[in-house]
Structure 1
């Protein structure tokens, strides 16, 4: 819930942390929240990419490089937020990986473990660390947590099956945390279909019209589509919504399409 905002910038005075936000969906989320007045802190693996992303964000934005699944990195970021802003209102767990492509029978178990660590356990760890940081008072500020799931959590997708399995875990993690952390904290997720990013390029490059033909809205998603969905979930308009996985897919699942 907005505490100090106004109708033009309803998130003014609030602080958002977005992981995996040097480009693509994460950066679009950061921009959407910043447009509504939030101070944003973004993370990614490379400082160079973060510096470029910061050039498109307000001067108050902060970028901290590190691995999303590193407890040391998480503590560093939360310490910087405590020192710089003295509060945390929104945690957006966007960081994720999908380093393998192919059927499950060929999946490297080590690669699968790494995917689960980054896509699922890292997000839970960010939540745990943020709750433990008393200086940030996530509960006291009626905190909001948003995870990035995927429609591959709902419908099997050839060759990226384990990615979908990790995202199914993210969706259930979202619902479980919503029950455990209410009423002070709302927890929701956004579940996109194919979004036009470098991360998803292999799923549509060279055949975008063909892929989009399965979507009732006849187009693929953009990072901005997801950014606006996240902005809705952290805003006052979603103040009675928690434990919800918001499918943001141009109608693909409803139409019976495949991811």
Structure 2
């Protein structure tokens, strides 16, 4: 089976879909034939994404709001059901990398927000989809984590700890919801997004030189991995975390560049790298 129309007849929810990785995921799923409900905080960005999806021939609706609001997550689920009559796919991409800084200086409210957005919201959205459709009909979930969830680094303790929790949540849900619902995650490395521009724009050459793949990532690299995981091509895969990182974790063996220097550069400047 190829990716062409492999998701035809299925409806997907993608969070954080107004730009970057989230928008690329929505567009990739649409190319595979899925119907889309996209959400993000930026209403204009949601509208732009919906317009782009419709321009490529997809059925698409949108809902602006924050995933930190449980009512918004149920609104998204209801809108998907109203538009398409089903919720087959959930992609939890929305996230926050705040608070940034040492944990000893972390504001408790900001810390709780990180876990609300990065861990609680994905669980709540899966609960909504489960109750509305997946309990009776099955489905597939992908949580967007980060290559840095297994590392300790300066200033990104809240982000990385919450993403590590999301990794475990992925495994837990896979165990609880199988066999009808598959739950996996993808863990990107440094990707060419606006959020990470301040890293790759000034250090792309040196970072790429230290990666076995020889380049930093593009949003489409992550999107294609997500499309595969939610498709029938990955029907025997659940509870897995797919690294989409250009070889970040194995770059110490690469003969090109100063791998340790690149590692330090990423850890210092890029949350989750």
8 Å Cα contact 2:10/2:34 also seen in 1:
yes
8 Å Cα contact 1:88/1:141 also seen in 2:
no
Q: Distance in 1 between matches of 2:122 and 2:3?
A: 31
- 1:194 is the counterpart of 2:190: yes
Identify the residue that residue 147 of structure 1 maps to in structure 2.
143
Q: Distance in 1 between matches of 2:120 and 2:143?
A: 12
Number of residues paired by the alignment? 252
Normalized per residue, which structure has more helix?
Answer: 2
8 Å Cα contact 2:148/2:189 also seen in 1:
yes
8 Å Cα contact 1:152/1:163 also seen in 2:
no
8 Å Cα contact 1:174/1:189 also seen in 2:
yes
Identify the residue that residue 99 of structure 2 maps to in structure 1.
100
Would the alpha carbon gap of residues 100 and 213 (structure 1) be closer, same or farther in structure 2, given more than 3 Å must change? farther
Q: Distance in 2 between matches of 1:83 and 1:63?
A: 12
Identify the residue that residue 120 of structure 1 maps to in structure 2.
119
8 Å Cα contact 1:6/1:12 also seen in 2:
no
SS, match of residue 135 in structure 2: coil
Identify the residue that residue 73 of structure 1 maps to in structure 2.
72
Identify the residue that residue 266 of structure 2 maps to in structure 1.
none
Identify the residue that residue 241 of structure 1 maps to in structure 2.
237
Identify the residue that residue 57 of structure 1 maps to in structure 2.
53
8 Å Cα contact 2:98/2:159 also seen in 1:
no
Identify the residue that residue 227 of structure 1 maps to in structure 2.
223
Cα offsets for 1:126-163 (capped at 9, x unmatched)? 11122122xxx213333001001101102223322221
RMSD: 1.7
1:119: how far off? 0.5
Identify the residue that residue 268 of structure 2 maps to in structure 1.
none
- 1:132 is the counterpart of 2:128: no
Q: Distance in 2 between matches of 1:195 and 1:175?
A: 24
8 Å Cα contact 1:20/1:44 also seen in 2:
yes
Runs of 4+ displaced beyond 3 Å? none
- 1:82 is the counterpart of 2:81: yes
1:65: how far off? 0.4
Within 5 Å, give how 1:16-55 maps onto structure 2. Answer: 16-55=12-51
Gaps of 5+ in 1: none
- Identify the match of residue 185 of structure 1 among 171, 181, 184: 181
